[in-house]
Amino acid sequence: MRKLKRVLSFMLAAIMMISMSGMNVMAAEQQETREGYVEIALDNAASTYATNYYSKGLVVLNIATAGVSNECRITSGSVPDGATITKVELKGTKSTGSGTVYWYVEHEASGRVASKRFASPATFTEFNGLTADSAWVVWLEGDPWSTVRNGSIKVYYNY
């Protein structure tokens, strides 16, 4: 799917460049007849619609007796200025415990917290539109002796 998006983005950029080269000729011709026109540069137009993601692994999350697991704090790394979230996915393998477990995730920059019943993957759209340049805190709540291993967070964003 990512390869298809990249190919389509490349094709769109090529079409835009071809059409823009024709517009430059037309603009040059019109310059002779029109005075005081304003030229608008579209150098960054393609990046306005770019999509990307970052992914980080989680530590083992374990609920002992209190009903709340340890926390895992993840940083975003380097993301483009103005990047906004389109969705967040949490994955992991519930290896012990037979009771109900919930994912909890906090977008540290805004303080917004969301939760979902454990599934792998669990998709969160509650953070859509927030800045992608934020740390995240992930933990579990639920029945004692539940453990999630091989966990990861994947944050998709547009810029």
DSSP 8-state symbol, 21:
H
Q: Give the pLDDT score at 115.
A: 98
Q: What pLDDT digit, counting tens, does each position of 52-110 carry?
A: 999 999 999 999 888 999 999 999 988 999 999 999 999 999 987 668 899 999 999 99
pTM above the 0.75 mark?
no
Tell me the β-bridge partners of 105.
Answer: 114, 138
Which residues are CB-neighbours of 37 under 8 A, at least 6 positions away? 27, 30, 31
Q: Give the pLDDT score at 25.
A: 46
- For the chain, give every domain's residue range: 2-47, 51-158
Average pLDDT over residues 121-147: 95
Q: For the ranges 4-8, 37-41, 126-130, which has the lowest average pLDDT? A: 37-41
Q: Which CATH superfamily is domain 51-158 in?
A: Galactose-binding domain-like (2.60.120.260)
